[in-house]
């Protein structure tokens, strides 16, 4: 089911995507819940907030900023929207406690518009994913949280039940994976998911999907998520597509020597 409110971290800040059909009051409530649950993850950074998915008024923008200020320690330097009055929205988004000169403001607006154009370009042409490049996320992802990367992704922490991670390349969880992981989301069937402790609710690699036995009514034995030899509590494991099915195997020398994703780049 599509989420009404999603939060995605990007290089320049945060992308907040909103359902265009839900009432703004209900969206605001869900925005508040999302940012409150992820407050420790965001820290105290100064960021740019990009709002997409629906047109919002200046008053609605202010309400969203007030919620973020109340629920987190983030400092929103500017707001980018898909509206035509982009310059006005940017000026409204500059926080009162971060006032700058008109010349500096114009320079910042130009820079943000350039970053926004670059972001739209990247979203429109998600090709040429290089698995040798990877983002690193430090910290665990709790239930309700999600993280997306265009390249490969390294999580230095756990991906807990109810959390979701996706990557254009492979995913490395240096911790326990009990949530949902999607690798090779742009179609790379050679991508894989690795974890020190592998117990996922769901794994997707390219167009292949495997679901845990705990998620009724799927028969776990038929999903291919587990082969006949599991090395639980005996080192890291990796999920990859073999003979058209997702299976889990030891992350060992044999895998590293034969992995197409690692050796064919």
- pLDDT tier, 53 (very low <50, low <70, confident <90, very high otherwise): confident
Q: Do domains 5-124 and 134-263 have the same CATH topology?
A: no
Residue range 86-105: mean pLDDT, rounded: 52
Model confidence pLDDT, tens digit, residues 137-180: 999 999 999 999 988 999 999 999 999 999 989 999 999 999 99
Angle formed by the axes of helices 102-124 and 86-93, to 10°?
120
Tell me if 260 sits within 8 A of 225, measured CB to CB. Answer: no
Q: What are the residue ranges spanned by the domains of the chain?
A: 5-124, 134-263
Task: Assign 243 to helix, strand or coil.
Answer: coil
DSSP strands (E only) in the chain: 5-10, 13-18, 46-52, 75-81, 134-138, 146-149, 152-156, 164-167, 171-177, 180-183, 193-198, 202-205, 208-211, 237-242, 245-250
pLDDT value at residue 120: 55
> Residue for token digits 């999302």?
34
Per cent of the chain over pLDDT 90 is 26
pLDDT value at residue 89: 46
- pLDDT tier, 117 (very low <50, low <70, confident <90, very high otherwise): low
The CATH number of the structural domain formed by 134-263 is 2.160.20.70
Model confidence pLDDT, tens digit, residues 11-51: 667 888 898 888 999 989 999 988 888 777 666 667 788 88
pLDDT value at residue 122: 55
The model carries a pTM of 0.48
| Alpha helical stretches, state H, the chain | 24-37, 39-42, 58-71, 86-93, 102-124, 253-258, 260-263
Task: Assign 54 to helix, strand or coil.
Answer: coil
> Residue for token digits 């609605």?
60
User: Which residues on adjacent β-strands are paired with residue 203?
Assistant: 181, 210
- pLDDT tier, 215 (very low <50, low <70, confident <90, very high otherwise): very low
Q: What is the rounded distance in angstroms from the CA atom of residue 187 to the CA atom of residue 74?
A: 35
The CATH number of the structural domain formed by 5-124 is 3.30.750.50
Contacts of residue 160, Cβ cutoff 8 Å, sequence gap at least 6:
140, 141, 142, 143, 176, 178, 179
Q: Could you tell me the two tokens for 158?
A: 């756990």
- pLDDT tier, 1 (very low <50, low <70, confident <90, very high otherwise): very low
Of 75, 3, 71, 70, the closest CA to residue 37 belongs to 71
pLDDT value at residue 87: 42
């Amino acid at each position: 089911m599509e989420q009404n409110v999603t939060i995605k971290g990007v290089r320049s800040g945060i992308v907040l995507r909103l359902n265009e059909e839900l009432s703004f009051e209900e969206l605001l409530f869900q925005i508040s819940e999302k940012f409150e649950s992820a407050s420790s993850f965001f820290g105290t950074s100064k960021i740019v907030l990009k709002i997409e998915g629906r047109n919002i008024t200046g008053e609605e923008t202010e309400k969203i900023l007030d919620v973020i200020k109340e629920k987190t320690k983030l400092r929103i330097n500017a707001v980018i929207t898909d509206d035509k009055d982009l310059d006005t929205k940017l000026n409204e988004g500059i926080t009162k406690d971060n006032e700058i000169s008109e010349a500096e403001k114009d320079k910042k607006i130009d820079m943000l518009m350039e970053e926004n154009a670059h972001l739209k370009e990247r979203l429109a042409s998600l090709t040429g994913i290089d698995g040798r490049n990877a983002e690193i996320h430090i910290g665990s992802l709790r239930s309700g949280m999600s993280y997306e990367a265009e390249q490969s992704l390294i999580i230095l922490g756990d991906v807990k039940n109810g959390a979701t991670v996706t990557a254009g390349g492979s995913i490395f969880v240096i911790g326990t994976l009990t949530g949902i992981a999607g690798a090779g989301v742009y179609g790379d069937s050679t991508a894989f998911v690795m974890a020190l402790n592998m117990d996922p609710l769901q794994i997707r690699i390219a167009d292949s999907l495997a679901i845990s036995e705990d998620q009724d009514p799927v028969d776990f034995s038929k999903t291919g998520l587990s082969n006949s030899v599991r090395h639980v509590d005996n080192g890291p494991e990796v999920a990859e597509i073999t003979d058209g099915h997702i299976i889990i195997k030891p992350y060992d020398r044999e895998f590293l020597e034969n992995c197409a994703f690692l050796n064919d780049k």
